[in-house]
Chain A
Amino acid sequence: MVRGETQQDPLNAFITLAEIPPRAPGRLSGITVAVKDNISTRGVETTCGSRILSGYVPPYDAHVVDLIRNEGALIPGKTNMDEFGMGSSTENSGFGPARNPRDPERVTGGSSGGSAAAVASGMARMALGTDTGGSIRCPAAFCGIVGLKPTYGRISRYGLVAYANSLEQIGPMALSVADCSLLMEVISRFDARDATMQDRPYLPRLDGDIRGMRIGVPAEFFGEGVDPAVADRVRKAISVLEGLGAAIVECAMPSMEYALAAYYVTCTSEASSNLARFDGVRYGPASDYKKPWHEAFQEVRMQHFGPEVRRRILIGTFALSAGYYGKYYGKAQVAREHVREDYSRLFQEVDLLAGPTMPTVAWKIGEKSDPLSMYLADILTVPANLAGVPAASVPCGTVQGLPVGLQLTGRAFEDELVMNAAYAYEQGVKA
């Protein structure tokens, strides 16, 4: 297996190139759908971008993989990602960073950077990504494509290697809203194996008619840290929506103050538990069974987890530990409820919220070296994950030649409305 940048894959969009054939003809016949490498594929290595899973070949397919193969999709391979989804640039991949098709010196965004690069460069028509705190929307924005983080509970997580169970969803990525919507329709079929899923399949409604729709614009979405050029670009996009008949409402979302902290406490806590199973006993690179257990276990984790993963395991362990649980994990769950309440309150007044997906455009590979500055880049995407509401990123032009994403957030289970507004914008700009 050749990994890294190759002639076939100059952007390092894929960790594994492997043609997984369709099982039956259907709505995705003739369509290539790249699959993020944290989604289980029977018989094809699934690494989550981590060395600790190199060589792990799952004996089962994720529910979404079953669904797309049964609808005729061909899977060209497993896409690159930040290790276990922990990152916003795909630089944290255990198999080298992915490169942005718009500028190979820049990051794709992450963690579904490989999926975004594959779609933006035409290596796949569509892709499945996963979004825990922005991991679909961020690379969609940075690479200039469409991505949707569905409502929590709308897509089965069966076969998605858990990073932060209560936050993440699998979602579609594509060049156009229509493609993204089609893929969403296919993957939203009910699966009883995921107890957090609800049987409320996505029924696309792309007529582009947003007349009378009320769109809220929270001031916090344009707060500190948001590049003025990006803000300007997004405000122009919002005025396009206004031009299409939507009413724009200025509003406030005070819980944004602590949303990011609540997010990082929650995801690292869950991750510290989720990642404990990689002990080299049942699968993956073996632990040295001649050593005592704790020594062998530590050794496997030290050797095969990257630094960001180990850092997050440490933080999460700390946040859940005796004496700190209340101050961190407990508090984060309260904060989370406030974020949700903020959305509920806002969605009584408006149908959608709009703002930038990311505070900046794609940065240069290696530019952000300290972890916290990377975390801060997620400030605009994490609230939707905390509340479980749907959010899409749709391209809205460029700043210095680099794509900018417009983020649209809707009520839970109104992914259709979010996608229709994205469609209206996309078509409106074209016209």
Chain B
Amino acid sequence: MTVPIGMEAGSAVRETAGSGLAAVEGGRETVIIGLEVHCQLNTESKLFCGCSTDYRSDPPNTHVCPTCLGLPGSLPAMNRRAVEYALLVAKALNCRVADEAEFARKNYFYPDLTKGFQITMYNRPLAEGGYLDIEGDGAEKRVRITRIHLEEDPGRLVHMGTPDRPRYSLVDYNRSGIPLIEIVTEPDLRSPKEARRLLNGLRTTLEYLGVFDGDQEGSLRVDANISIRGSERVEVKNISSYRGVEKALTYEITRQRGVLRRGQKVERETRHFVEARGVTTSARSKEQEHDYRYFTEPDLRPLQVRHWVEGIALPELPAARRERFTAQYGISPEHARTLCGELRLAEFFEQMAPCGNPLLAATWVADTLQGELNYREMEIGKVPPARFRELLGMLCRKEVTDKAAVEVLRRMLDQCLKGEEVQSPAQIMEKNMLGKTAGDTFTGIVREVIAECGDAVRDYRAGRGEALNFLVGQVMKRTRGRADPKELTRILREELEPQGT
């Protein structure tokens, strides 16, 4: 949304006056960023009608009714849970809930908008004046939240033709009417990295509250206001991924600096982020007019829900969980931060912690597992906890080497990805000859190598110790690194002992 005229005018200027910061920080001009973050709330039904919100795997235009299609004569009916979810967010972000909030119509015409207006909140938002602490460079940083409000999502447009030769649009209205919460920050962010951290913080908080699922495609969209201190502000719209925010802002800063370096002025305008090319492009003048002719939505009643807030019990939020993790499990603050940075990761860790060695569990979940998941672009939700717990158990009991365990883990994840049933670590080890105790399998390979490398065996027996290393290397090669080198050395020594002595 666009902040009412008067509220937005010169917010950057006001900030300058208030903070008293020097115009230059760290040797470069200060970058001023504020975000408008839109998140889909995971209610069962849409914001103003009973259509299901579970539309992603269904054909287009199958989750629509007279209301979300904007058929003549239809009326909106407000979803109680959406309001409750928004209040949870407001409380978690330390906002002041309004005595009375109301929906308004934002009038603009676009084919994805079924009524020719979007029902949103304008000058009477649900909550105002909160904050969220994010990880800063060094100490924590407090980012102020300007306001929080509810609004409906428009439908989804597919553009047919090419950018040079556009032909027509196709519209799917399944998304029309999905509840969105919009969170607007003050221009407190100073770098794309901070913007990314704020987004991560918001995502985590909303996920902890159980009102949002950040893994769902298109569940988050961001508009960013960005300026270089002393210059005009540019609004970048249409950023739809976490990485996109950093990319779009980095691009925009470079662009604006370039403009200033050439001695030109940055124009106040709206730009679109083109994710595929990683650039922002100027929006046409039509969309810049911004006269949305807001007025109170006459088909809905106002919300007087401030008193509901007292009855809301917040669940444990990321910061509290981080503290508990370090205290309860004795894990490092870094591990606690990583683990608590994602609700499902934190929950997964807590299922693993009883394995007997929480430090080991933390390392394996936060470092090893996370790394493997990132490599595969896989979600933690897909990992079967029971299997991972078995693996950790074996590690605790030293029944598997670290290296073999990684190999087992990789195979487990590959099985997950393929949709196969995940085998137990023991089964995987057996099948792939990853057994730590080598046993017959490795002994067989060792004997093969001894038989084939007569020269090295002779050298070893002649007292040249380095020949053993060569033999170990040969065996390692043939076991594709699954054997524990120490163990191998022991077996080799045994096998090389002259028989019968």
**Which residues from chain A sit less than 8 Å from chain B, CB to CB?**
38-40, 46, 48, 53, 56, 58-60, 62, 157-162, 165-166, 192-196, 269-270, 272-273, 275-279, 281-283, 289-290, 293-294, 297, 317, 320-322, 325, 329
Contact = CB atoms under 8 A, between A and B. Distances in A.
A320 B71 contact: no
B75 A158 contact: yes
A239 B350 CA distance: 85
B72 A58 contact: yes
Contact of B71 (A58, A194, A272): A58
A34 B167 CA distance: 45
Contacts of B173: 282
Interface in B126-176: 167-169, 171, 173
Nearest to A47: B72
A273 B71 contact: no
Contacts of B286: 294
Given A160-B73, A161-B72, A277-B70, 10 more contacts: A40-B72, A157-B73, A159-B74, A161-B73, A195-B301, A276-B115, A276-B117, A281-B171, A289-B168, A293-B110
B466 interface: no
B215 interface: no
Contact of A46 (B70, B72, B114): B72
B71 A59 contact: yes
A276 B116 contact: yes
B69 A322 contact: no
B114 A39 contact: no
18 contacts: A38-B73, A46-B72, A53-B72, A58-B72, A60-B71, A157-B299, A195-B76, A196-B298, A272-B293, A276-B116, A277-B116, A278-B72, A278-B116, A282-B70, A282-B71, A282-B114, A282-B173, A290-B167
A379 to B, nearest CB: 23
B315 interface: no
B111 A281 contact: yes
B314 interface: no
B109 A294 contact: yes
A297 B75 contact: no
B259 interface: no
| CB-based closest 3 A-B pairs | A276-B116, A320-B293, A165-B298
Given A195-B301, A289-B168, A56 B115 contact: no
B295 A273 contact: yes
Contacts of A46: 72-73
A277 B76 contact: no
Given A58-B72, A195-B78, A276 B109 contact: yes
B192 to A, nearest CB: 33
Given A273-B295, A276-B109, A283 B300 contact: no
B114 A270 contact: no
A59 B65 CA distance: 9
A283 B71 CA distance: 8
B71 A195 contact: no
Contacts of A269: 295
B299 to A, nearest CB: 5
A322 B291 CA distance: 6
B214 to A, nearest CB: 31
A280 to B, nearest CB: 10
Interface string B190-213: 000000000000000000000000
Given A48-B72, A293-B110, A273 B5 contact: no
Nearest to B61: A282
A428 B95 CA distance: 64
Contact of A195 (B72, B167, B300): B300
A166 B73 contact: no
Interface in B289-313: 291, 293-295, 298-301
A193 B71 contact: no
A431 to B, nearest CB: 43
Contacts of B78: 195
A40 B74 CA distance: 9
A282 B117 contact: no
B23 interface: no
A312 B371 CA distance: 62
B246 to A, nearest CB: 32
Nearest to B76: A195
A246 to B, nearest CB: 35
A276 B107 contact: yes
B354 interface: no
Q: Which of A38, A46, A62, A322 has the most CB of B within 10 A?
A: A322
B299 A196 contact: yes
Nearest to B171: A281
B72 A59 contact: no
Contact of A320 (B72, B77, B107, B169): B107
A293 B168 CA distance: 9
A62 B72 CA distance: 10
